[in-house]
Structure 1
Amino acid sequence: MALELYLDLFSQPCRSVFIFAKKNNIPFEFKKISLFEGGQHAEEFGKINMMRKVPAIRDGDFTLAESVAILLYMAEKFRTPDHWYPADLQTRARVNEYLSWQHTALRMHGSKVFWFKLLIPKALGKEVPKEKMDSALEDLEGSLKMLEEKFLQDRPFIAGEHISLADLVAIVEIMQPVGAGVDVFAERPKLVAWRDRVQAVVGKELFDEAHQSILSAVKVMESLDSSKLQGFKPRIMKLLL
């Protein structure tokens, strides 16, 4: 039985799982969970992940949530090439270091900019206060600087000479604010060169397939019924308070 992947490619963690599975020829059945349509609240999905979040997987009777856990599970179960999650202790530690850091840094700040630039204006019909937008962009800038100066340095990839799960998780997060119209690559040649290397290894066709939804987000929001975003209002208010 093929792995079942519950995904919405608007979600950056879902994109990392999707790219990893396809790049490594892992057989899976794509189960679309539309976040904007409230698919995460369906009774059947609650049996897969009671946290009501994507990505999630089902492998026979086994279910698993959280993107990093899912990536590690697939890497080990399907014995993917060593460079994704290296056996060498110190190289693996570099991957783990980035995966541990990104949740409260690049992930959080890139997501906030996406919400502030695109989703909140659509859901509430008003712009985010300038001081909050400026603060969010400053936090994102700090995370991007840390990615370049601490995690990349002068290496081709985060863990060294070869792409790893760390690079995959990083690139999908960086593409999130890009989907809201923020050019995070402007005046960052090191980041551009790294992005191009990641894209080359993943393959442009797969990279574009995974990011088609997020890069069309502005157009999607223009035609989306704002009432469908009402379920996000409690989260939106937390971001604004």
Structure 2
Amino acid sequence: MPLIYYYDLMSQPCRALYIFLKITGIPFEGKQVALRKLEHMTDEYAQINPFKKVPVIDDSGFILTESVAIFMYLCDKYKINNWFPTDLKERARVNEYANWQHFNLRATGSMLFRTKIITPRMTNKPPNERELEKWHQQWQESTNGLESVWLARSSYLGGDHLTIADLLGICELMQPIAAGYELDKEKFPRVHDWMERVKRETQPFFNQAHAMPMRLRDTLLKNEKSKL
């Protein structure tokens, strides 16, 4: 029985896991859960994940939530040691980033996206500009953490090669970009170069996973341009 994967590609960790499953060749059956239609809030889905979030995997009846835990489980089960090293110190670096991101890059990028896209659609009101500025500034500070710490000591977030930390990181960075924001290449040259490397090394699956977010970005920029 193949792994069952519940996901929505508008979710950052869902995209990261989708890329990982594709690039490693782990067989899976995809079950899309449309967040925009509130399919994750149904009683039926609550039987799968009581927290009503994605992603989730069902491995022959073993149901696991939380993206980082899923990554670790799959790497250990399939012995994919290049993505989640077995060396104690190398693994600790990956774990260090995976723990750091929750209240930094993930939190700030998610709130920027929510303030720009989700809340206005739910309330039928324009974005709160003060809130946008606050979250944009905090997103910039988190991005500077990548520039001045993580990528200052190694070429990838978890060391000298691609790991699950990089998939988690780049998909979080892409969320505000999907909302129409830009990465400042002059301010964050290491981050820019790292993103280009990760994209290149994960094709064609990176583009597949980000097709929907990029369509959203194109629509937003087109609408903003038409208002000028």
TM-score, normalised to structure 1, is 0.87
- 2:58 touches 2:64 (CA, 8 Å); kept in 1? yes
- Flag structure 1 segments of 5+ consecutive residues without an equivalent: 223-241
Please list the CA deviations of residues 10-32 of structure 1 after superposition, one character each: whole Å capped at 9, or x if unmatched. 00010111111111000000000
Please list the CA deviations of residues 130-150 of structure 1 after superposition, one character each: whole Å capped at 9, or x if unmatched. 222111111001100011111
- Flag structure 2 segments of 5+ consecutive residues without an equivalent: 222-228
What is aligned with 2:162? 163
Q: Tell me the CA shift for residue 122 of structure 1.
A: 2.3
Identify which range, 160-169 or 5-14, moves more after superposition.
160-169
For 2:48 and 2:58, the matched residues in 1 are separated by 7
For 2:185 and 2:126, the matched residues in 1 are separated by 24
Percent of residue pairs bearing the same amino acid type: 37
CA RMSD of aligned residues (A): 1.7
Equivalent residue letter for 1:85: F
What is aligned with 1:142? 141
Count of residue pairs the alignment pairs up: 220
What pairs with 1:169-188 in structure 2 (closer than 5 Å)?
169-187=168-186, 188=188
Please list the CA deviations of residues 138-175 of structure 1 after superposition, one character each: whole Å capped at 9, or x if unmatched. 10011000111111115221122101111110000000
For 1:192 and 1:85, the matched residues in 2 are separated by 23
- 1:185 touches 1:191 (CA, 8 Å); kept in 2? no
**2:28 aligned with 1:28:** yes
What is aligned with 1:48? 48
Please list the CA deviations of residues 171-220 of structure 1 after superposition, one character each: whole Å capped at 9, or x if unmatched. 000000000000024422211110111112212x2110001111122567
What is aligned with 2:104? 105
Q: Which runs of at least 4 in structure 1 moved beyond 3 Å after TM superposition? A: 218-222
Please list the CA deviations of residues 5-62 of structure 1 after superposition, one character each: whole Å capped at 9, or x if unmatched. 0000000010111111111000000000001111112333222111110000101111
Equivalent residue letter for 2:7: L
Please list the CA deviations of residues 50-109 of structure 1 after superposition, one character each: whole Å capped at 9, or x if unmatched. 1110000101111010000111111111111x2211111111111110000101110010
What is aligned with 1:237? none
- 1:113 touches 1:133 (CA, 8 Å); kept in 2? yes
